[in-house]
Amino acid sequence: MELRTYVILAVLTLVIAYVVFRVIVRRDYQRKGKLTPFSSFMEYVAIGSWVYFTYVNVPPDWPAIHVSPALEVIGSILFYGGLAVTLVALVWLGVRRSHGLEVSQLKQSGVYGLTRNPQSLAFVVAIIGNLILWPTWQNLVALIMLAVVLQLMILTEEEHLREVFGEAYETYCRRVPRYVGLRRRSD
């Protein structure tokens, strides 16, 4: 793929993510207090756009792994471990709540007691594993783009959670890091 097409697809992917998370999803959270099935579906479109971008930019020698056996083990552990933690966090929170279709309580235990965004963080770890297995500039760009897409989603979700849970969410934010870091004492 030529560089111009690559850049156009990258920008289009980020624009789709911005419109979905900062316009459509945000609007539903503000108007309805939860996501509609349409906006939840649009989240899949945004993430799917990133997946499509990544897929069309697969290096020609894919899926051959050209790293040392040690890096293959490390990359595989990060990739499969990240995917497993993503699924565990999704189940722990609940599928409907994970997709914004239901807001019932602020989950602060389990993996949500370690990081406020375990699903996103674990998915990024999986993609870092993928980058270790297939160290290409395309996979590095895909990782950076994923971080931007997820940050847009997280900022929108945080606005909503502050509105719904108020001081309880603020206390949770002071105690549990957004991504990783040292745990702080609760007030």
Model pLDDT for residues 150-166, shown as the tens digit of each residue: 999 999 999 999 999 99
What does the DSSP assignment read for 79-141?
HHHHHHHHHHHHHHH-HHHHTTS-------SGGGGT-S-HHHHHHHHHHHHHHHHS--HHHHH
Cα–Cα distance for residue pair 8/162, rounded to 1 Å: 35
Each residue's pLDDT tens digit, 22-57: 999 999 999 999 899 999 999 999 999 998 888 887
Percent of the chain with pLDDT over 90: 65
pLDDT band at 177 (very low <50, low <70, confident <90, very high): very high
The four Cα atoms 58, 150, 74, 62 give a dihedral, to 10 degrees, of: -10
Q: pTM of this prediction?
A: 0.86
Query: 3-175, what's its fold?
Result: Four Helix Bundle (Hemerythrin (Met), subunit A) (1.20.120)
